[in-house]
Amino acid sequence: MKNYRYVARSTAIAARALGDETMVMSATDSTLFTLNEVASVIWAAADGVTPLDEIVAKKICTQFDIAPEVALKDAETLVEGLAGHGLLLLSDQPLVQPPSSRGEAL
């Protein structure tokens, strides 16, 4: 049983949408990830205040031919995997993003 409802992009990442895909780089260990079209939609919608099941219902099931229960299960697998790499934050409460840690480094 999952213990989260909200997903938010970490601030310790760099990301860029390129066509239908999204590249995400961990700013802590430089690991690079490429998200496919469906994962990119979830990534873009992970604002910390929209529940994951709502993202799936409104953004995935309306754009892609996939059953809601299957889509939600796949989405949970995805966000838990990305959270495991520190790219997403998961919470049972809405998430507010902290400001960037430092402005000038060089």
Partner 1 sequence: MPGVTAVMQSSSVVVAIGGLPIRLRCDNPDFVRMIEERYAGFVSSSDSAGFDFEIELAPPGTLSRDEDVRVTWNSGRWLMERGDFRAEWNPSTARGHIRQTITPYSLDSVLRIVHTLLLAREGGFLLHASSAIRNGRAFLFSGVSGAGKTTMARLAPPDAALLTDEISYVTRREGRYVAVGTPFFGELARVGENLHAPIEALYLLAKGPENKIEPITGTDAVRGLLENILFFARDPEFVKLVFDTACDFAARVPVRRLTFVPNASVWELIV
The verdict on 96 binding partner 1 (CB under 8 A) reads no
Supply the DSSP string of 71-86, one letter for each residue. HHHHHHHHHHHHHHTT
Q: Which of the ranges 25-33, 46-54, 72-80, 88-96 carries the binding residues for partner 1, by CB under 8 A?
A: 25-33
By CB under 8 A, tell whether 99 contacts partner 1: no
What minimum distance in Å lies between the beta carbon of 103 and partner 1? 8
Enumerate residues 6+ apart whose C-beta is below 8 A from 18. Answer: none
Query: Could you say whether residue 65 binds partner 1 (CB under 8 A)?
Result: no
